Amino acid sequence: MVYRMTKHNAIKQKFYMIPDRITDIFVFILAVVLPFFFTLVIIIIANVIVIIANSLDITIDNFLILGFDNSLLFLLLYAALLSISPITYQLNHRVYRTWYPAKYVFRRVTEEFPRIVREMSDLDDLLQYVTHTISDNLETESTSVWLYNKQKNMLILSKYHGIDTSDENSQLTILPVDLELEILSGTQFVDTLPNSNLRYALSTLKIQSITSLNLGGELIGLIGLGHNPLKKQHSHEVLDLLNMLAGQSALAVKNAVLISRLEETLTKLDLAYQRTIDAQENERQNLGTILHDDILGRLMSMTLTLRNCRTHLDSDPEQVKIWLELTENGINEIYRDLRTIMGGLYPSVLIDLGLVFALEEYLDTLAKQPQPLSAPVQITLTTQGFGYDRIEEERLERDIYYIIRQALDNAIKHAFADEIFIHLHWRDDLVSVTVRDTGKGMQDDPEVLAGKHGRVGLLSLQERTRAWKGHIDFYTAHDKGTTVRASIPMEQPSTDPSQLTVTTRHLRKGK
């Protein structure tokens, strides 16, 4: 059975609040009667003192209750009220905590909610507060707060108290959601959920009931309660009040999640910016080294050869002919090298013929040159939906080219794979790219490796994809290879979505 804040439950809440009102009336009566009682006792004691003094012929001004000085009566009453107010507060506090623990939690949280929103913008502090408030005041063996990841459709354990996260349960801190999200709305017992992996995982963690954190129909997360000490189910009253608590907390949690993501994004942007600058500087240094040490060095050698030719032109024409032939060959080599460098910066075939032809030419270039030992034996390129059409947005076409090329270069240099598969698919509303290798997998998280030690490839992949409001994922495992999937939305649909081409190139490895 699911407990939601329906009209029926709202009416039921009014009946649940009747004991609260009786408690409030009781505490109010004590707060009013006790000060008068203490004042009356003080006045009676004063009159007794006067009577005793008169009987002993001690001169003391007589005063009775009705003739008591009004100002002094007011002061005594005021002092009594001041003295009794802390006692009243403590009494109210203890009555609520002892008689109505669930209502005590709800009342405490709702009273402090403005402070939570104002002061607890930090997600970790907020979840810690919610977890400990429930754990400290409800009779439950465990309390847990789970945040929902919409993109990956899973619940992530964010804060917990009493949950067993030992090695055998360590895999249960991230739970795939294999149920419709509507089923998880409201407050309900775990054993009432449909048979699913989620229900099994929650039961394994000894979570008895769950309460969804919803905001405007969006699932933010879940609050899980363990068994009570008597191993009985939580009362309907507890579940209803927990549902109200979740409703009060959802907005604060959502705001804290957004702030946390914003701070994380800003941190990543700062890191990406710094790494981009470092990587660009390294690229400039590498390019400068190539031009200075290699190209300029060979040009200087050719200059000396031409001087020798001029010197021996009359005395040894045959030798001059040989030198000129060597110079011509050297110039051709420099031309090819400069063409390769310029092609790496921006290939002309991409401008002239488009994305698919540029990728095929790059594969041809790789097949003609000896590759490192980490390179694969075979690369297969599959394109679908392109035909003879081109992407009209030149910058988008350029970025897709470099996304594929950089993912491919990373696999060639680091994967030690036997094969690399590239799939490029142009659909009605997006272009998807998949680069998969059969190598050893990444040694660390992609976000950690991005830009590290001058490696700009992974960083550029992420930045180019996000620049077009696209999404990129990395899937990697030890000795199971790495898969890079990127999808970029676009308004230009494919005119031939069924068109399919396959290109295969075999690479040769150097020593």
Domains of the chain: 2-99 (no CATH), 113-263 (3.30.450.40), 352-506 (3.30.565.10)
Over residues 488-505, mean pLDDT: 89
The pLDDT score that the predictor gives to residue 437 is 95
Q: CB under 8 Å to 401, separation ≥6 — which residues?
A: 347, 350, 355, 358, 359
The structure tokens listed for 202 are: 């929650």
- 488 pLDDT more than 90: yes
pLDDT > 90: percent of the chain: 14
**Which of 33-42, 158-167, 326-335, 407-416 ranks highest by mean pLDDT?**
407-416
Closest to 248 in 3D by CA, of 104, 106, 146: 106
Provide the pLDDT confidence category of residue 482 given band limits of 50, 70 and 90: very high
CB 428 within 8 A of CB 387: no
Tell me the three state secondary structure of residue 127. helix
- 6 pLDDT more than 60: no
Rounded Cα gap, residues 320 and 309, in angstroms: 5
Residue 181: half-sphere exposure toward Cβ, Cα within 13 Å = 15
Model confidence pLDDT, tens digit, residues 262-306: 887 777 767 666 666 666 666 667 677 767 667 777 787 788 888
The pLDDT score that the predictor gives to residue 65 is 43
> Which amino acid does the sequence have at 483?
T
CB 472 within 8 A of CB 461: yes
CB 211 within 8 A of CB 246: yes
The pLDDT score that the predictor gives to residue 16 is 41
- 372 pLDDT more than 80: yes
Provide the pLDDT confidence category of residue 39 given band limits of 50, 70 and 90: low
**Greater confidence, 472 or 133?**
472
Rounded Cα gap, residues 212 and 250, in angstroms: 9
Over residues 187-205, mean pLDDT: 88
Provide the pLDDT confidence category of residue 432 given band limits of 50, 70 and 90: very high
pTM of the model: 0.46
From the number of C-beta atoms within 10 Å of its C-beta (0-12, 13-18, 19+), residue 169 rates as: middle
The pLDDT score that the predictor gives to residue 49 is 75
In Å, what is the CA distance from 115 to each residue of 131, 180, 220, 382? 17, 34, 21, 57
Q: CB under 8 Å to 444, separation ≥6 — which residues?
A: none
Provide the pLDDT confidence category of residue 463 given band limits of 50, 70 and 90: confident
Whether the CA torsion 242, 247, 251, 254 is positive or negative: it is positive
The angle, 0 to 180 degrees and rounded to 10, between the axes of the packed helices 101-119 and 236-289 is 30
CB 146 within 8 A of CB 170: no
Q: CB under 8 Å to 369, separation ≥6 — which residues?
A: none
The pLDDT score that the predictor gives to residue 64 is 43
What mean pLDDT value characterizes the chain?
Answer: 76
The structure tokens listed for 324 are: 């000129």
Q: CB under 8 Å to 23, separation ≥6 — which residues?
A: 92, 95, 96, 99, 100
Provide the pLDDT confidence category of residue 3 given band limits of 50, 70 and 90: very low
The pLDDT score that the predictor gives to residue 457 is 64
The pLDDT score that the predictor gives to residue 291 is 73
Q: CB 12: neighbour CB atoms within 10 A?
A: 15
Exposure letters 223-253 (e unless 16+ CB within 10 A, then b)? bbbbbbeeeeebeeebbbbbbbbbeebbbbb
Over residues 211-240, mean pLDDT: 79
Rounded Cα gap, residues 498 and 432, in angstroms: 15
**Which of 38-42, 139-143, 151-155, 456-460 ranks highest by mean pLDDT?**
151-155
The pLDDT score that the predictor gives to residue 486 is 95
Rounded Cα gap, residues 300 and 325, in angstroms: 16
Rounded Cα gap, residues 493 and 372, in angstroms: 39
**Which of 40-44, 45-49, 125-129 ranks highest by mean pLDDT?**
125-129
**Which of 13-27, 281-295, 337-351, 494-508 ranks highest by mean pLDDT?**
494-508
Provide the pLDDT confidence category of residue 349 given band limits of 50, 70 and 90: confident
